[in-house]
Structure 1
Amino acid sequence: MAEFSFDVVSDFDRQELINAVDQTKRDVGTRYDLKDTNTDITLGEKDITIVTSSELALNAVRDLLETKALRRNLSIKMFDFGEPEEIGGMKIRQVITLRKGIADDIAKKIQKLIKAEVPKAQARIQGDSLRVSSKSKDELQAVMSLLRERGDDFPLPLQFNNYR
């Protein structure tokens, strides 16, 4: 009998994130309350840096970024907001780390949940993803629905791919 499987990953569409950051930059330039704040938003490889003049402007820019990300079907769970820090020249900087991949402790938690709820399905940790396999497609569907239901238990967005 054939063995079916799928991968549980935590990833995001990089191009959609670039578009969301660009839209946020444009909105910051046109909004009256943010025009004179000299706000700078920089998208790095693994993080986003916001530099602005006040805590109020920082919160407004964060809200804008979250709204633009949601409109582009990106999960807000991928943002790990660092502590705002004051830098020279009356400026505030906040670094937002982008979550990508499943950390080992979270992977073990997911693996334990799958083993407890759907005992006939096996979950194996493979780097920064999980491979779930079973002899029945119905059990794999049960695992997917279980992880969708309990998605709020995990601090990162989960996607399913390589369904075979």
Structure 2
Amino acid sequence: MAKDSSFDIVSQVNMQEMSNAVNQTEKEISQRYDFRGSTASIELEEKSIKIAAEDDYKLNAIVDILRARMAKRGIPLRCLEPGKIEDAAKGTVRQSINIVQGISKEKAKAIIAAIKATKLKVNTQMQGDQVRVSGAKKDDLQAVIQTLKAGDFGIDLQFINMR
């Protein structure tokens, strides 16, 4: 009897790389001519990024810089969930952007449904914020990965712990 193979489907963000991207954004803001003398800031918290600026235009510019830095560092842009832009003190604006980690129950159900639709002989199991896929044939598992890569679930997926 062949031993079952398995892998986990996760949606994770490398927080060290995210910290580096935020630091580079901060550095660029401090050096850019159009931000001279303005009160613009970006701050990484545990599960979110806080951005403050003088107006919507500058705030959006900071977000654009951040997205460019994230792309260069291989951080999925889909992990950002922007909150609404709020008015802050002294006529400034601020925005909180959540960093989405893990696979929600709804997304996990959609992923499992997509896997079942392939009619491959694999088992799926929700484990907290990730999905485990196991099966006897490695080819079936690789077919599942290809199917999921082709699909769009609104989040960035990684495939880890292939055994």
* Category of TM-score, reference length = shorter chain: over 0.9
What are the ranges of 5 or more consecutive residues in structure 2 without an aligned counterpart?
none
Q: Which residue of 1 aligns with 2:155?
A: 156
| Conserved 8 A contact 2:120-2:140 | no
Q: Which residue of 1 aligns with 2:126?
A: 125
Q: TM-score, normalised by structure 1?
A: 0.96
CA distance in 2 between counterparts of 1:34 and 1:95 reads 20
- More displaced stretch, 72-81 vs 111-120: 111-120
Structure 1 residue 147: deviation in Å?
Answer: 0.9
Q: Indicate the SS of the match to 1:80.
A: strand
Matching of residue 82 in structure 1 with residue 74 in structure 2: no
Moved over 6 A (4+): none
| Conserved 8 A contact 1:118-1:139 | no
Q: Which residue of 2 aligns with 1:30?
A: 31
**Count of residues in Structure 1 that have an aligned counterpart in Structure 2:** 162
Q: Indicate the SS of the match to 1:95.
A: strand
User: What does 1:79-158 align with in structure 2 at a 5 Å threshold?
Assistant: 79-150=80-151, 153-158=152-157
Structure 1 residue 5: deviation in Å?
Answer: 0.2
| Conserved 8 A contact 1:10-1:129 | yes
Q: TM-score, normalised by structure 2?
A: 0.97
Amino acid of the structure 2 residue aligned with 1:8 = I
Structure 1 residue 14: deviation in Å?
Answer: 1.0
CA distance in 2 between counterparts of 1:127 and 1:16 reads 24
Identity of aligned residues (%): 38
Amino acid of the structure 2 residue aligned with 1:99 = V
CA distance in 1 between counterparts of 2:49 and 2:17 reads 14
- More displaced stretch, 28-37 vs 128-137: 28-37
